[in-house]
Amino acid sequence: MRKTLITYDYSHIPAVIHPYLEQAHIYDSSSSDNAQTLFIQGKEQWFLKISAKGKLEREYRMTEFLHHHHMAPSVAAYISDETNDYLLTAAVQGEDGASSQHMANPEQLAAAFGQYLRMLHQLPLDGCPYPGRSAEIRQEALDSGIDPALLGEHGYTPVDNVIIHGDYCLPNLIMDHYEFRGFVDNGYGGIGDRNYDIYWGLWTLNYNLDTEQYHDIFLDAYGRQDVDMEGVHYFSQLVDWTE
């Protein structure tokens, strides 16, 4: 996780967040153009994410839901002003899955990555604030301008019956020497089709490790009997069309 020490003028930040920033070292830890992420190191450690108004509500609600199940950090504050959303969460102790510590043993990493995805997909659906995730993903593809006929060519019908992360990539899993600590960046989650997360899991292992040789370890750790490769291919096409 990238952290760059900065001097930060937080006078524009809502006053309720100021006590967390006072007398703390502040680091820029942003990884996306869609949001600024600050790592706050004081007596305690926090992450403050800042994005356009309305953009962080989903992440707030899904993080709260997953925290209830001990799978995500606690939320200290979620505030909107006229222009921005501010989401302040406790820092999960550990390193993300793409850290050198975890990449050093790719076999163990792939096995843990599959195991913890299975753990997420076994959560009860009750109380999840975002059902019907597959329809949203399909609509995003249509909104990108693809021909609707292309969606019907695959013959796969998504089934929304598990809690998905929605961006299941190695940087979004925090571990301590491969021991689970929490999921972060939960703003794409909801009740969806397991094969969407499996697609992203396979994608990130290939991207971060620069090889597909650990895919079988990941799938076996997840439970290959519940993986539908037609579904994985369906979602890979949706992602390709959308991006």
- Residue 194's nearest CA partner among 121, 112, 133, 114 is 121
Strands 75-80 and 25-28: unpaired
* Cα gap 102→44, rounded to integer Å: 24
Q: Is 226 a catalytic residue?
A: no
Q: Which neighbouring-strand residues pair with 6?
A: 26
For 137, the token pair is: 């993903």
Alpha-carbon span 10 to 15, nearest angstrom = 9
Q: Which of 96, 160, 167, 197 is catalytic?
A: 167
State how beta strands 45-52 and 75-80 pair: unpaired
Query: Can you list the positions of beta strands (E) in the chain?
Result: 4-6, 25-28, 36-41, 45-52, 75-80, 84-90, 95-96, 162-164, 173-176, 179-183, 190-192
Determine contact, residues 51/30, Cβ cutoff 8 Å.
Answer: no
Residue type, 123: L
Beta carbons within 10 angstroms of residue 197's beta carbon: 26
**Burial status of residue 44 (CB atoms within 10 A of its CB: 0-12, 13-18, 19 or more):** exposed
Would you please indicate which residues are annotated as catalytic (active-site) residues? 167
